[in-house]
Amino acid sequence: MSARTAGTDLTHPVFTVARGLARLAAAYHRASLLDAHHLPKGPALLVGNHGLLGWDAVAFFYLLNRHTGRVPIGLADRKLFGGRPVRGLLDRVGGVPGTRENALDALAGGRLVVCYPGGSRETFKAPAERNRLAWDSTDGFARLACETGTPIVPFAGLGVDDTFFNLGHAPLTKRLFGRYAMPLAVGLGPLPLPVTLRFRCGPPIAPAVVRNDPARLKRLVQGAVEAMMEGHGEPARVSVASVP
């Protein structure tokens, strides 16, 4: 196991400051985590939707830690967070570049691993894409789960696209930066809007229920996340039989 995912130093000043700020963010948004009892004691992949500018992750990771006593590992975008010194800072707060090796390493260590298949496509979304998944052909999380037999806990974040007013992308930015073009977003001065954030965990999904078929597993997990989003956070009701 690499030092990067072997364990987060909870005594490091950077982690202490980050956790304090995350606590304030969770309080500011009156954030809550529902159905945390679905989180397994051992390793698991937590897969769900990402909010505008990724601000939702701050409160979500804090709530996971508060409810379980465990520090989750976040798989971060390799282009945005893979270089130094950003990667060094990420290490201190419980994140790693989203590579297969890092994910395997964290799961082998029994960690809760958070994955946002939409990545930058969801954090830098256009206004018309509000409350919609943008997973496209991304299926790495499903292949990883099938390979390791790791359960997937689908989750949904409610209110995560309302933390800023999304004014869309400035002309030419999409052409220049592609999926990494940041939309114009307005909050409450330097702060995000004080909207309520709610997160809900669905029941774990074992790869074996779809006979370790990554494509079916992805569709099953995506359906569970969408059901919770469309049901305003109600528990997912997606059967294996309904997934082709």
- Domain-wise residue ranges, the chain: 3-242
Q: How confident is residue 242, by pLDDT bands cut at 50, 70 and 90?
A: low
Q: What is the pTM of this model?
A: 0.91
CATH of 3-242 among 1.25.40, 3.40.1130, 2.60.120, 1.10.3470: 3.40.1130
> How many helices and strands in the chain, by DSSP H and E?
10, 9
91-114 burial code (b ≥16 CB/10 A, e <16): bbbbbbbbeeebbbbbbeeebbbb
User: How large is the C-alpha radius of gyration of the chain?
Assistant: 17
Q: Is the pLDDT of residue 233 over 70?
A: no
Average of pLDDT values for 35-43? 97
Q: Mean pLDDT lowest for which of 17-26, 55-64, 212-221, 229-238? A: 229-238
Q: How confident is the model at residue 3 (pLDDT cuts 50, 70, 90)?
A: very low
Average pLDDT in the chain = 91
pLDDT value of position 6: 44
The pLDDT tens digits for 126-164 are 999 999 999 998 999 999 999 999 999 999 999 999 999
Count Cβ atoms below 10 Å from residue 17 Cβ, excluding itself: 12
How buried is 168 (Cβ within 10 angstroms: 0-12 exposed, 13-18 middle, 19+ buried)? Answer: middle
Nearest to 155 by CA among 197, 93, 102, 210: 197
Closest CA to 94 of 7, 2, 33, 21: 7
